[in-house]
Amino acid sequence: MDYTARERDADFLMNDVFDVQKSWAEIEAYQELSSDLIKAVVAEGGRLASEIMAPLNEVGDAHGCELKDGEVITPPGFKDAFAQLTQGGWLGLSGNPAFGGQGMPKSVAGLIEEMFWAANSSLFLYGSLTVGACLSIDAHGSAEQKNTYLEKLYSGQWTGAMALTESHAGTDLGMMRTKAEPQADGSYNITGTKIFITSGEHDMAENIVHLTLARIVDGPKGTKGISLFIVPKFLPNEDGSLGPRNGWASGSLEHKMGINGSATSVINYDGAKGFLLGEEHQGLGAMFTMMNYERLSVGLQGLGAGDLAYQHSARYAQDRIQGRSATGAQNPDAEADSLLVHPDVRRMLLTQRAYVDGCRAFAFFAGMQLDAAKHKGDEQADRFGQLLTPVVKAFLTDKGLEGAVMAQQILGGHGYVKEWGVEQIVRDARIAQIYEGANGIQALDLAGRKVVRDGGKTLAELLDVLAEFEIDPEHEPQVAQAFARLLRASQSMVARSNEDANLPGAVSADFLDLMGMTLCAWAWGVMAHQAGDDDFGLAKKQTARFFFARLLPRTLGLEQSILASSDVLMDMPEALFNA
């Protein structure tokens, strides 16, 4: 499945839109990063994505993974491709240099992740979970745990996985039953069953390190009693070599709608030896260090799917001839004109492109906030990063699937059959709205925890900061109106939530959509101002015009929906849902 890495877009964001060298000059860890070095890193990441990972995308879908004699076998070619991914140091791109990471900015790593997700989401899942595990161990682990695990995880010699979900609990982690029994040597015996464990078992690394949530025996009930444990497949010896096999195994593989090249296991823990990560009964905080990274990364998965779908449908529309232009034949020497003469095909393509490029820009901005919070101790940037995380996760994955479905529509019948590849993009993109916190949970987190809880203060501060960017004069009034609309909606939601506990949940999905659209409007206003007069710049300006004329007006309806009361949802008796 062909994929072209967006190197020019990456360069445009870093150097024209956000001038990252200026912000990096204020961060000691980044002061030696030259634009030439970053350009080379992006180019090599793009080469790996397009030449090594992308050709295996359809292979992974066709072959899937196989569970044989307790071992999981990944699709043909995956092992070699993963070796190239790990040997290049890509799993440690933004990792701690003290343990072998490269210490690159998260904003840059996000651009690379988008490429990897677009090229082969199943393959990159083995790496993404590893990066998240590293973050959690680096933030909460002891010196011994960091020395034991981080270097081998960054190198890909070992990989990581996150074991949260149980069949009866789902999102309600307080109901989990997996138990941890303290042992005399300071370890714990972990017993229970987890489902939907991505990369929980596979054949691409010599060891697999599970970060597993469990309840210590006699610990507090509910979420307050949950602890986090490092539970490796093979127990490490003191010298770092592999010791005996631990007491867990993959009981089965899930049969899924998509991402078939990614092994998703049921994991049975039978007295497996685990090591407490962080403090007892503080497991959710430690796990959410990993989870918040995964949420941002999954947002980029949605973005990658949307861009891959756009690339396929744009090429198809240009090459496919069918029908004539309403204004007369544009290609009179051929039997028909290209699909691009048809306004509705252009509508779908421009919608795809408007969301892909706009979302890439504000996701990059979110990455910059994480960099500033981590290296400058910037409290405001930290709050901005937390506020933007659910929007990046949910809005980008929603628009990624929407774009994939539009690509399928552009290809018509060819979009529905396997040989053209677009139906795989649709299937692969769907999971991103569900895992790492379903999008409804992201919306509730944004509305309830991030906006209502602080009275909308952080959102108002964010809009003030965004307003300081130079906006293209043609679109400046529309961006200002979008900001005002979002601010009005947030103030209304905060005020009414004081008397209506259901209100945040009732309007949260629309509120997240409104915020995502507003961030896209801001991004397009900035990009249109910075775009040049070459083909690349003209395409940006034309797409901006389309976004403001045809997509941004949707926020008018979203605002009206947010003003509705919760009783239109909550007054219907439960029995009537089956009437």
Question: How many domains is the chain built from?
Answer: 1
By C-alpha distance, which of 434, 414, 135 is closest to 302? 434
| Residue 172: predicted pLDDT | 59
Give the single-character DSSP code of 34: -
Please check whether residue 439 is in contact with residue 330, taking contact to mean a CB–CB distance below 8 angstroms: no
Give every CB contact of residue 115 below 8 A, 6+ residues apart in sequence.
3, 5, 6, 45, 46, 49, 50, 304
| Residue 539: predicted pLDDT | 98
| Residue 292: predicted pLDDT | 79
Report the alpha-carbon distance of residue 497 to residue 444 in Å, rounded.
13
- The amino acid present at 30, given as its one-letter code, is Y
| Residue 173: predicted pLDDT | 61
DSSP track, 320-376: -B-S--TTS-SSTTSSS-BGGGSHHHHHHHHHHHHHHHHHHHHHHHHHHHHHHHHHH
What are residue 262's phi and psi, to 5 degrees? -95, 125
Examine residue 354 and state whether it is found in any structural domain, yes or no: no
Q: Is residue 17 exposed (0-12), middle (13-18) or buried (19+ Cβ within 10 Å)?
A: buried
Alpha carbon distances (Å) from 242 to 150, 160, 232, 233, 563: 15, 16, 10, 9, 59
| Residue 288: predicted pLDDT | 78
Examine residue 484 and state whether it is found in any structural domain, yes or no: yes
Examine residue 433 and state whether it is found in any structural domain, yes or no: no
Chain CA centroid to CA 486, Å = 24
Alpha carbon distances (Å) from 422 to 309, 405, 553: 7, 9, 29
Examine residue 344 and state whether it is found in any structural domain, yes or no: no
Examine residue 547 and state whether it is found in any structural domain, yes or no: yes
Examine residue 299 and state whether it is found in any structural domain, yes or no: no
Beta bridge partners of residue 67, listed in sequence order:
72
Residue spans of the chain under pLDDT 70: 168-175
| Residue 350: predicted pLDDT | 98
- Catalytic: which of 201, 294, 402, 436? 436
Domain hosting 508: range is 455-569
Examine residue 103 and state whether it is found in any structural domain, yes or no: no
- What is the token pair recorded at 75? 């699709």
436 included as an active-site residue = yes
Report the alpha-carbon distance of residue 231 to residue 537 in Å, rounded.
50
Examine residue 102 and state whether it is found in any structural domain, yes or no: no
| Residue 37: predicted pLDDT | 95
Report the alpha-carbon distance of residue 344 to residue 341 in Å, rounded.
9
Our CA dihedral for 100, 106, 112, 113, rounded to 10 degrees, sits at 100
Report the alpha-carbon distance of residue 397 to residue 122 in Å, rounded.
16
| DSSP 3-state of 269 | strand
| Residue 293: predicted pLDDT | 75
| Residue 170: predicted pLDDT | 58
Q: Where are the alpha helices (DSSP H) in 156-282?
A: none
By C-alpha distance, which of 135, 124, 131, 126 is closest to 154? 131
| Residue 70: predicted pLDDT | 86
| Residue 169: predicted pLDDT | 61
